[in-house]
């Protein structure tokens, strides 16, 4: 009888330990499942001039889409080169067509996903409380210009549009010793705000974000290539559907309303 009782108790203990093990395994599986069910993180590599508009769009987009959005902002040329070198990105939004063309040729964007999302204007600015003898872009000379901040034309589309503008007006060579080259258009804005540059060429959208500068003049559209921002889904994106949805959102009436609010053009 004693042996039988001990055998029963031993069997019960074995069953209980097995049940505990199953419970613990289930908990581990649940934790693993929760990790796998976390929201996908959508990485948007975009021209830095879009910063303020994108931050507002992010809040609105995340309310209705089960996805987290993060931004990698900089000059279009730098971002394009990062993508070509394998940097993670789901969407690329360029401030000109050239850098998007390069990614299309290198096979770094998905076919059929490229579309234009917005436009802009080039403006000449100065510090708000500063005084400049220049009243029009056409008035710029080596004598009255002082130091002029521009984006480096090799990687910054705003700088390339500025170069086009000044070459059209036959002023580029005359003013080349007056340029302060910046890594992106927001750095141009900072140089002008702080007085480290007397003048600066930025987008109208950048000037609209600052209460420390004033617009002197706006470049005529005929002086440079059309300022168009194309967007596309990258070839390596793991989240093609939400990436397309974000681009569609930018082109929607709500997205265009936000872009217009920050100085962009349809």
Distance separating alpha carbons of residues 194 and 199, to the nearest angstrom: 11
> What's the distance, Cα to Cα, between the start and end of the chain in Å?
91
Q: Is the pLDDT of residue 31 over 90?
A: no
Do 90 and 208 have their domain in common? no
Average pLDDT over residues 238-263: 97
Distance separating alpha carbons of residues 240 and 90, to the nearest angstrom: 7
pLDDT of residue 39: 86
Rounded to two decimals, the pTM is 0.83
Average pLDDT over residues 238-243: 96
Do 102 and 176 have their domain in common? no
pLDDT of residue 37: 55
Q: What is the span of the domain harbouring residue 201?
A: 122-223
Q: Is the pLDDT of residue 17 over 90?
A: no
Do 210 and 127 have their domain in common? yes
Do 209 and 129 have their domain in common? yes
Query: Could you tell me if residue 47 is inside a domain?
Result: yes
Do 133 and 215 have their domain in common? yes
Average per-residue pLDDT in the chain? 90
Query: Could you tell me if residue 22 is inside a domain?
Result: no
Q: Using 50, 70 and 90 to split pLDDT, how confident is the model at 10? A: low
C-alpha radius of gyration, the chain, whole number? 27
Report residue 138 as tokens. Answer: 């056409």
Do 247 and 213 have their domain in common? no
Do 246 and 115 have their domain in common? yes
Query: Could you tell me if residue 1 is inside a domain?
Result: no
| Angle at the Cα of 75 from the Cα atoms of 70 and 78, rounded to 5 degrees | 90
Q: Using 50, 70 and 90 to split pLDDT, how confident is the model at 266? A: confident
Q: How many domains does the chain have?
A: 2
pLDDT of residue 22: 45
- Residue 241 near residue 32, CB atoms below 8 Å: no
- Max Cα distance, the chain (Å): 114
pLDDT of residue 14: 52
Residue 70 belongs to a domain with what CATH number?
3.40.190.10
Distances (CA, A) of 262 to 68, 193, 215, 219, 259: 23, 18, 15, 18, 5
Q: Using 50, 70 and 90 to split pLDDT, how confident is the model at 131? A: confident
Task: Count other C-beta atoms under 10 Å from residue 249's C-beta.
Answer: 18
Q: What is the pLDDT of residues 173-194, one digit of tens each?
A: 999 999 999 999 999 999 999 9
Do 210 and 239 have their domain in common? no
Do 104 and 233 have their domain in common? yes
């Amino acid at each position: 009888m004693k042996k039988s009782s001990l055998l029963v108790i031993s069997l019960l203990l074995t069953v209980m330990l097995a049940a505990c093990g199953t419970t613990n395994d289930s908990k581990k599986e649940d934790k693993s499942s929760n990790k796998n069910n976390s929201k996908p993180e959508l990485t948007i590599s975009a021209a830095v001039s879009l910063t303020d508009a994108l931050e507002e769009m992010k809040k609105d987009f995340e309310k209705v889409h089960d996805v987290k959005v993060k931004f990698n902002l900089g000059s279009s040329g730098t971002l394009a080169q990062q993508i070509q070198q394998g940097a993670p990105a789901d969407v690329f939004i360029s401030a000109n067509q050239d850098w998007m063309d390069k990614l299309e040729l290198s096979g770094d964007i998905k076919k059929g996903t490229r579309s234009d999302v917005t436009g802009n204007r080039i403006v000449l600015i100065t510090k708000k409380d500063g005084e400049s003898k220049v009243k029009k872009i056409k008035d710029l000379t080596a004598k009255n210009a002082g130091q002029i901040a521009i984006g480096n034309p090799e990687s910054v589309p705003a700088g390339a549009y500025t170069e086009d503008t000044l070459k059209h007006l036959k002023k580029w060579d005359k003013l080349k010793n007056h340029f302060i080259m910046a890594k992106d258009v927001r750095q141009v804005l900072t140089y002008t705000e702080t007085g480290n540059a007397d003048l600066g060429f930025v987008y109208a959208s950048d000037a609209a974000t600052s209460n420390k500068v004033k617009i002197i003049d706006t470049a005529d559209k005929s002086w440079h290539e059309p300022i168009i921002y194309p967007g596309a889904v990258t070839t390596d994106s793991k989240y093609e559907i939400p990436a397309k949805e974000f681009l569609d959102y930018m082109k929607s009436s709500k997205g265009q309303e936000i872009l217009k609010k920050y100085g962009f053009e349809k």
